[in-house]
Structure 1
Amino acid sequence: MSGKKKTADVFGINSKVRPDSYVDRGDLDETIIRLLGRNTHIALKGESKCGKSWLRQKNIPDAIVVQCRLGRGAIDIYIDALSQLEVRFIVSDKTTGKVEGRVEAKGALGEGLIAKVFGLTGSLSAGGSASHSSEKSKELVGHDINDLRYVAALVRESGRRLVVEDFHYLSVDERRKLAFDLKALWDYGLYAIIIGVWSQSNMLIYLNPDLSGRIEEVSVYWSNDDLKRILEQGGDALNITFEEQFEDACARFSYGNAGILQALALKSLDALGIVEEVDGHSAINDEAALQTAALHYADQLNALYQQFAKRVAGGIRTRQDSTGIYAHAMAVIVEAPDKLCLRGIPLEHIYQVAHARENRIQKGNLRTILEKLEGLQVDNEGRGLVVAYNEAEGEVTVVDRQLLLYRRFCTVSWPWEDLIEEVQMGS
C-alpha cells in the first residue's frame, strides 16, 4: 500500500478540515481566538461552503453544535443543545415563545450538570417541584425552569461553547426571538457563536439593537487571490504547482467560494489521472482538465437543482396567482447576472425585469412573495435553501453559489417558464 498522500486527503469538499489546504483567510483564526477570549457573542456570516464550518472546527473543536432547520425555532435550539449534555428539556408550550418547561437528566453527565447548577442556585427548593422517575434503574431528577438563566447555566457549566449553525433557516420571527434571547444569554454569561448566510452588515443588531456592543460579526468571504492560496498550499503538499493561468480560471469558476474551488481542484487532478502525491514535481496548466472537472461537477449538481426546481414549481402551483408573479420572480432571480448574484439581487432589479415581462406585477406584491420564497424551496427536513430574501436590505442572496457554476455549464430548462406560459394561455 502506497504511503503517499492522496489527493482526496488534500482537496475536495469535506465535513472535516483538510489541514494541507486549509487557508487562514485574512487571519480569521487569530480574530476568532481573540474574540473567544472576550465576553461577546460571535456571528460568522458567509455563503454556503465558504469555509465557516472549517473555521469553527479548527478554532472551537469541542463545541455544542446545533443545526437550524426551517420550521424550527429558538426553543428547539435549547432542546438540542441540552440533549447533547444529556439533559432532556421538556417544553410546556412552544407556542408562547417563552422558555418554560422542565429539565431532566438522561445520563451521568446531565445528572452532574443539573446537580451543580440547581445546587448552586438553590432553585431545587425555589423553582417548584422536583420529579423522580426510573430509567434503566437510574434515578432521573427533573426541575421546573421558567427562563433562560438555567439553560445558560447548564451550557456554561459544561465548559463548552454553544454554536448555532444555519441561522438563516430560521423564520424572520424566530431570528428575532433568538436575537432577543442572545441579549439575555449574554447577561447570564453565555456567549454563543451564530453561523449563517446573510448579506447585510450586523443583521443580529438590526434584529435587536440591544446586542450592540455584545456581539462581533465576522465575514468569511474570499478574494480570487485568497482562493489561489488554497491551490498553492494544497499543491505543495502533493508536489504540484498550479500555473497562474489555471489558478485564474479555477478561481473564476469558483465564484468566490472555497468549497467549489476545493471540488474543482480534486476533479481536475482526477481528470489528469493524478490521485496521490507525485514523485519529483509536476506543473499543472491543463485548462481542458479544469473544463472537464467543471462539467462533471455541474452534471452532478443536476439532480440537486432539478429537485429544487420541482419543489419550487410545486409550491407555486398551490398559490392563487393570476399574474404568475412567483414564476416570473424565480425566472428573474435564476437568470440574474453573475455580478448581482455575487453581491445580492436588489428588489428593484427583480421588479423592473419582472414588470417588463408582465406589466400587472406590482412591487408591493413582489416584496410580499419574496418574503415567502424560502418556504417554497426546502424539503421535508427543512433543508435545501438556494436563494434567500434579505428583508432589511430588500435583496435576494444566492445562498448556494454552486447554482452559478451549474447554470454556466449546463443547459437548464426551468419549470417556472412552463408555469408562465400556462398563466398566459389562461388569461
Structure 2
Amino acid sequence: MRQRVVPNALVVQCRLGTTNIDIYTSALSQLGVQLQVESTSKFGIKGTVEGQVAAGSELIGKVSGKLGLEATGELGSKGVPVGRNINDLQFIAQLVIESGKRLIIEDVHYLSIDQREILSYDLKALWDIGCFVTMVGVWGQANMFVRLNGELSGRVEELSIEWGPDDLRTILARGSVALGIDFSREIQNKAIIDAFGNAGLLQRLALRTLDEAKITTEQPPTFKVNNMSWYEGAAMAVADQLNGVYLKFGERVASGIRTRADATGIYAHAMAAIVAADDGMHMNGIPVEHIFTVSHSRQSRIQKSNLKLVLSKIDSLQVDKDGRGLVVTYDADKECVLNVDRQLLFYRKYLTVSWPWEELISEADKLVQ
C-alpha cells in the first residue's frame, strides 16, 4: 500500500542496531547529501551536511537561501562541498521538504526502545517544521509514539492494517473474476484460515493451487477449482519453500544461545515456550506470564526477573549479519512477545519441526543434574 500511495519517496529500512542518525544519513544520501556527524547525545546531534554530488550541493544552496543562511564553498564540480553546521533538525527537515519527497521509515520495530523515544521527540519537531513522516512497523499497543511523547497527541494518526477473513475472501473473489476461475467455498475457507491474516501468504497459496490444477492462463468460461487435493498439495509445497527460512532462523537462534553461559538453559526454554504458544497468542501477543509458566514448569530454577532480561535480548538472537530476519520481538511495556512473521504459524502447521533449542534444553538439563 505504501509503495502504491507514495511511489516517489525517501525510503529508509530499519534493521537491528539502526539509530536515528542512521535514518537521517540514509535519507539525505538519497538526495546526494552527506551527513557528517561529529558528536551525538540522547536527544541531539552535531555535525555538518555536505553535498556529495552537484544535485545535493544545489539542494543545500536552495535551502540555505530560503532560511537566510550562508552556504560555504562553491557549487562548481571542482569546488569545496557545500556544508552547513547543524544543531537541530530544521536544516535536515528543509532539505527533505525542498526535495518534494515524503520520508518513509519502514520496519520501525527494529529500533530499540531508546531510539523509538528519540524518534518520538524528533517527530514532534519535524511536524512543527512541516516535514511529515510515514512510519511502517509492528508494535503491540495502539499509539505507541504518543505514549513515548505526549506532545504528539493530535499530530500522529495511527492506521492499524489488519486483513480480516472478509478482506481475504475479497482478494480471492477479485482474483477469481480476473482469471475466470471459481475457488470452491471449502478451498477458500481453508486458505483463509491458513493465511493467518497475511494477504501475501494467501496469494501464494492461491497461485500454487492453480499450479497444482495445471492452470496457467485465463480460463474462459469459468473453471471450477474444487479439488481439495490441489490445495493440500499447494500448502505442503509452500511450507516446503519456507523450510530453508525457518531452518536458518533456528540455526541463528541456537548459535546465539550457545554463546550465552547459562546452566538453566533459560534462553532455550524461553524460545521453546514462545514458538510453541498457540495461534491466538501469536496473533495477539504472548504474555510473559505464559512464557514463565511454561519455562518454569520445565526448569524450576528459572526466575521471572531473569526471564524478562532474556526476553529483552531475543531480537539479537534472531537477526542475520545485516540485522534483518526478525520473527518475534519483545514489547517491554506490554510485557509480551509479538509475532512479526505470521508465516511461522502456517509453516509449523504443515511441517513437523525439531527446533535446535530442544537439543540445547536437553544439554542444559544434563549439566544441571
Q: Same fold judged by TM-score > 0.5?
A: yes
For 2:48, the aligned partner's letter is R
For 2:84, the aligned partner's letter is H
For 1:58, the aligned partner's letter is R
Partners of 1:177 and 1:293 in 2: CA distance? 45
**Equivalent residue runs for 1:153-302 within 5 Å:** 153-302=94-243
The question of 1:107 aligning with 2:107 is answered no
Partners of 1:346 and 1:285 in 2: CA distance? 40
The question of 1:326 aligning with 2:267 is answered yes
Partners of 2:257 and 2:151 in 1: CA distance? 38
Which one of 397, 400, 415 corresponds to residue 341 of structure 2? 400
Displacement of 1:112: 2.7
Structure 1 residue ranges (4+ consecutive) displaced by more than 6 angstroms after TM superposition: none
For 1:363, the aligned partner's letter is K
Which one of 7, 16, 20 corresponds to residue 74 of structure 1? 20
On the 8 A contact 1:131/1:143 being kept in 2, the answer is no
Structure 2 segments unaligned to the other structure (5+ residues) = none
Distance 1:318 1:117, change over 3 A: same
For 2:359, the aligned partner's letter is D
**How many matched pairs?**
368
Partners of 2:139 and 2:233 in 1: CA distance? 32
Partner of 1:342: 283
On the 8 A contact 1:240/1:283 being kept in 2, the answer is yes
Partners of 1:291 and 1:95 in 2: CA distance? 55
For 2:37, the aligned partner's letter is V
Normalising by structure 2, report the TM-score.
0.96
Deviation per CA, 1:115-162: give whole Å up to 9, x if none: 11111112227xxxx345976x46531222221000101001111111
Partners of 1:285 and 1:177 in 2: CA distance? 53
Partners of 1:322 and 1:269 in 2: CA distance? 51
Partners of 2:40 and 2:18 in 1: CA distance? 10
Partners of 2:326 and 2:169 in 1: CA distance? 28
Partners of 1:300 and 1:243 in 2: CA distance? 25
Q: Give the RMSD, CA atoms, in angstroms.
A: 1.6
On the 8 A contact 2:15/2:323 being kept in 1, the answer is yes
For 1:411, the aligned partner's letter is T
For 1:217, the aligned partner's letter is E
Distance 1:115 1:134, change over 3 A: closer
Which one of 245, 256, 261 corresponds to residue 304 of structure 1? 245
For 1:165, the aligned partner's letter is E
The question of 1:355 aligning with 2:301 is answered no
**Which is worse superposed, 102-111 or 207-216?**
102-111
Secondary structure class of the residue paired with 1:393: coil
Deviation per CA, 1:378-407: give whole Å up to 9, x if none: 011010000011111111111101101111
On the 8 A contact 2:54/2:75 being kept in 1, the answer is no
Partners of 2:73 and 2:231 in 1: CA distance? 63
Partners of 1:198 and 1:68 in 2: CA distance? 14
Secondary structure class of the residue paired with 1:400: coil
**Which is worse superposed, 114-123 or 70-79?**
114-123
Partners of 1:270 and 1:178 in 2: CA distance? 46
Partner of 1:119: 65
For 1:288, the aligned partner's letter is S
Secondary structure class of the residue paired with 1:144: strand
The question of 1:90 aligning with 2:36 is answered yes
Displacement of 1:97: 5.5
Partner of 2:8: 62
On the 8 A contact 1:132/1:142 being kept in 2, the answer is no
Q: Which has the higher contact order (CA 8 A, sep 6+)?
A: 1
Displacement of 1:182: 0.7
Partners of 2:232 and 2:165 in 1: CA distance? 18
Secondary structure class of the residue paired with 2:320: coil
Partners of 1:95 and 1:410 in 2: CA distance? 48
On the 8 A contact 2:73/2:79 being kept in 1, the answer is no
Deviation per CA, 1:163-182: give whole Å up to 9, x if none: 00000111111111111111
Which one of 299, 305, 322 corresponds to residue 364 of structure 1? 305
Deviation per CA, 1:78-115: give whole Å up to 9, x if none: 01111111111111135666232111122343223211
Partners of 2:40 and 2:211 in 1: CA distance? 50
On the 8 A contact 2:63/2:95 being kept in 1, the answer is yes
**Quick one: percent identity of the two aligned structures?**
49
Deviation per CA, 1:18-72: give whole Å up to 9, x if none: xxxxxxxxxxxxxxxxxxxxxxxxxxxxxxxxxxxxx111211211111011111
Which one of 315, 321, 335 corresponds to residue 374 of structure 1? 315
Normalising by structure 1, report the TM-score.
0.83
